[in-house]
Structure 1
Amino acid sequence: MMKKRRVALIVETSSDYGRRILRGIAKYLASHHHWSVFLEQRDLTSRLPEWLPSWKGDGIISRFTTPQLLKIVKRSDIALVDVTDRRPAADHPLVWSDHLEIGRLAAEHFLERAFENFAFAGFSDEHWSALRLEAYRRRLEGHDVHVYQSAWYGPEAPSWDRLRHELSEWIANLPKPVAIFAGNDVRGLHVLDACNNIGASVPEEVAVLGVDNEHLMCDLCDPPMSSIIPNAELIGYEAAAMLDRLMDGDTPEAIHRFIPPLGIETRQSTDIYAIPDPDIAAAARFIRENACSGITVSDVLKHVPLSRSVLERRFRKYLKRSPQKEIRQVQIKRIRQLLTETDLPLEQIAEIAGFTHPEYMHVVFKRETGQTPGEYRSAAQVGQRPPLRDA
């Protein structure tokens, strides 16, 4: 009987994100080698176990990868996979959320809703927050992005009253209507609380988007908060697979893997179009809801009391693109989602996205993204970052 490998899971159980990573690890173990697992209740800032420096184990998956832990691993020759993203990537194996794609997705969400004023509320000295801001700004090039940041943990973190006061003052001085990308759901709750404090209307004056899609937290917000959905279970699964290879003595082809998000769960906090023209807002909403049913601009015209020339002119005025381009963008977004989240054949994806012929979907996708559908799927499956190019 093969001896079970001893693996320490230094992953917080206090957050939904950490628990989803653990679920992904459990799914891997259900169909692969069983490990002898160490796991304890902990939060993201809990100290390392005191016994770890003298532990005679085989592997570690860690969300608390400190310089101390790296020294222990190097000295003990224990395999390590890092799922921490609070510090810049080093040369050890890691599996992270693709924070650049998260930032890009946030910008796209607001651009689709025709916002022209943008802001970011994040955390200082948190690498994941900096990456999300970087990509958000990159996609919004040409627009000012107003930024509020404060410490997340430690003695520099502001008290609740101070944080509420600072955010209230910051939001009150932002140009309206404004789209605020919150670095995570915790910060999104802070932002929405500040909006309520100053009487700012959400989403009419301030739209707020979080990250992590922690359902309880999002639903406790007033109003319920939209949130980007990271694929934490896949992070856990892939981290376990990578650790197994390392414990076998193999070197993975790529020691840095970045897992794209699953999408966005839209709730009331961003469910609006920042378009002062009600007919164009109605047309944009119709396209968003029906683009993957194979609609054309003629179908849009049946739902708004405008001529084609007026629709085209006003659409370009408010959304900077044509109605046909908007239909394509919604279809491309759906194709990206299906390529990332499913193993459906391209013929079925084309049908779901509203294309009659898969060959034409291939041509349109390559033209709009710079990659073929197959190339995009392959990049997503191996955790590489797709190019940050507009859809």
Structure 2
Amino acid sequence: MRIAIDLGEYFTPAWKISAGALEYETLSRVTAGHEDVNILLPHSSFIAAEDKDPSSWDGVILREPRPELNIPQVLISSGYGKEHVSVTTNNHEIGRLAGAQFVSMGLRSLAFFGWDYRPPSVARWRGFSQYLESREIEPVFIHLGKYKKPWEVLPKIPKPCGILAFNDNKALWLLSLCKELGLEVPRDVHIISVDNSPACMESTPTLSSIAIPFALIGYRAAQLCEKMVNGEAVESIQIPPSGLIIRDSVMVEKGDMRSAASVAHYLRTNLSYPIQMEDIARRSSISRRRLERMFRSAYGASPIAYLRELRLEQAKVMLRSSDAPLKTIVEKCGFSNTIHLCHIFKRTIGLTPMDYRKAHSNNP
């Protein structure tokens, strides 16, 4: 079975999506015996010429429909109707997450910077605006390419303000506009973007951004495409964003940031111990409710959810890079017992720990 990933040469997240699909190819062979699943990358310079020919494909993962191919297709973009199977991020939740962050900072002058006709942008705006309206805040829509120009609208928005940009590229443009207008980020304008691309760390100031699990999107898209090629009925999937990564474009309370960093360090260095939320709050000398709100603001997750993710990632590292028995991994990573470890692996990645180790035995 030959499944192609045809997302174009210049689509930035394509390599992450492709990596997720290739991981599905590897794991499906090891765990389910799907020896005939082959993921093709038509835009790769290393692929054989015949593999670039759509007539040789059994299924394809695309950004937009191509009915002329007449093969099963899975889209990684939304807005093309229910008749098309898609695997996308939950854009409504992206908007809600940004709105919640701004509200937690006490901001009430808020705006969205994007398109009013592209489905992902519209969904992010709706999640953003609906959350804010439920808290009696009326956000502004700064349109891209229509109506009033951004440089005419931005100076009129009361400061300090918070702006959710559609993606990192638009946020970088917004940073430049703020500089031209004499507005300081984050003193006058707080900016949150989407995609968490490497450019976020290269800008000045660095960009706070909502991460999208592109690799998981690729993994699930390959999984659905295989089922479609086999004639199975499938439904579209929406995957929630990974979380908000706080950087310098958003100013949060300095004391809270130090507390969040301290808590995160404590969790990273004490994985093997049984840690409860009460223990963390007692160590931080602040209330549990304020601690959870502060930590979620800084890391996009509660302390306990963050700890679970740390433990899972450490267990993955040990399974890939060592021959340590499960009992040792359980002890080192803080799981209750091997049953708990197996349950977490099956629930999160669909494999037992030993299946995961076998799949990565040649790929540490």
Structure 2 counterpart SS, 1:180? strand
User: Where in structure 2 are the equivalents of 1:295-374 lying within 5 Å?
Assistant: 295-296=281-282, 299-300=285-286, 324-329=288-293, 330=295, 333-336=302-305, 343=312
2:275 is aligned to none
2:40 is aligned to 37
Closer, same or farther: CA 132–36 of 1 in aligned 2, 3 Å? closer
Give the Cα–Cα distance (whole angstroms) in 2 for the partners of residues 290 and 264 of structure 1: 18
Aligned match of 2:178 in 183, 192, 195? Answer: 195
1:57 is aligned to 57
What's the offset of the Cα at 1:201?
0.8
Once the two structures are superposed, residues 93-124 of structure 1 have per-residue CA deviations (whole angstroms, 9 ceiling, x without a partner) of 21101112211211122223222211110123
User: Where in structure 2 are the equivalents of 1:1-391 lying within 5 Å?
Assistant: 5-31=1-27, 32=29, 33=35, 34-35=37-38, 37=40, 39-40=42-43, 55=55, 57-65=57-65, 69=66, 71-72=67-68, 76=70, 78-85=71-78, 87-140=79-132, 141=134, 142-151=136-145, 166-215=149-198, 217-252=199-234, 255-270=235-250, 272-273=251-252, 281=253, 284-285=256-257, 287-289=259-261, 294-296=280-282, 299-300=285-286, 324-329=288-293, 330=295, 333-336=302-305, 343=312
Give the Cα–Cα distance (whole angstroms) in 2 for the partners of residues 237 and 299 of structure 1: 42
Structure 1 counterpart SS, 2:289? helix
Identical aligned residues as a percent: 23
Closer, same or farther: CA 342–173 of 1 in aligned 2, 3 Å? farther
**8 Å CA contact retained: 1:262, 1:341:** no
Farther-moved stretch of structure 1 (100-109 vs 119-128):
100-109
**8 Å CA contact retained: 1:137, 1:145:** yes
What's the offset of the Cα at 1:235?
0.2
**8 Å CA contact retained: 1:21, 1:232:** yes
**8 Å CA contact retained: 1:263, 1:337:** no
Which runs of 5 or more structure 1 residues have no equivalent in the other structure? 43-49, 159-164, 274-280, 301-322, 346-357, 359-373, 383-391
Structure 2 counterpart SS, 1:228? strand
RMSD: 3.4
**8 Å CA contact retained: 2:75, 2:84:** yes
Once the two structures are superposed, residues 63-117 of structure 1 have per-residue CA deviations (whole angstroms, 9 ceiling, x without a partner) of 122xxx2x335xx3x21111122x2542222110111221121112222322221
Give the Cα–Cα distance (whole angstroms) in 1 for the partners of residues 207 and 83 of structure 2: 36
**8 Å CA contact retained: 1:10, 1:64:** no
Structure 2 counterpart SS, 1:210? strand
Structure 2 counterpart SS, 1:81? strand
Q: How many residues align?
A: 289
Closer, same or farther: CA 289–57 of 1 in aligned 2, 3 Å? closer
Equivalent residue letter for 2:40: V
TM-score (normalizing by structure 1):
0.65
Equivalent residue letter for 1:145: P
Closer, same or farther: CA 282–21 of 1 in aligned 2, 3 Å? closer
Structure 2 counterpart SS, 1:16? coil
Closer, same or farther: CA 227–90 of 1 in aligned 2, 3 Å? same
Give the Cα–Cα distance (whole angstroms) in 1 for the partners of residues 39 and 140 of structure 2: 48
Structure 2 counterpart SS, 1:268? coil
Equivalent residue letter for 1:175: P
Closer, same or farther: CA 381–173 of 1 in aligned 2, 3 Å? farther
**8 Å CA contact retained: 1:82, 1:95:** yes
Give the Cα–Cα distance (whole angstroms) in 1 for the partners of residues 204 and 39 of structure 2: 44
Equivalent residue letter for 2:248: Q
Once the two structures are superposed, residues 165-220 of structure 1 have per-residue CA deviations (whole angstroms, 9 ceiling, x without a partner) of 932222211111001100101110111110010110110110111111111x2234
**8 Å CA contact retained: 1:11, 1:22:** no
Structure 2 counterpart SS, 1:61? strand
TM-score (normalizing by structure 2):
0.69
Closer, same or farther: CA 81–337 of 1 in aligned 2, 3 Å? farther
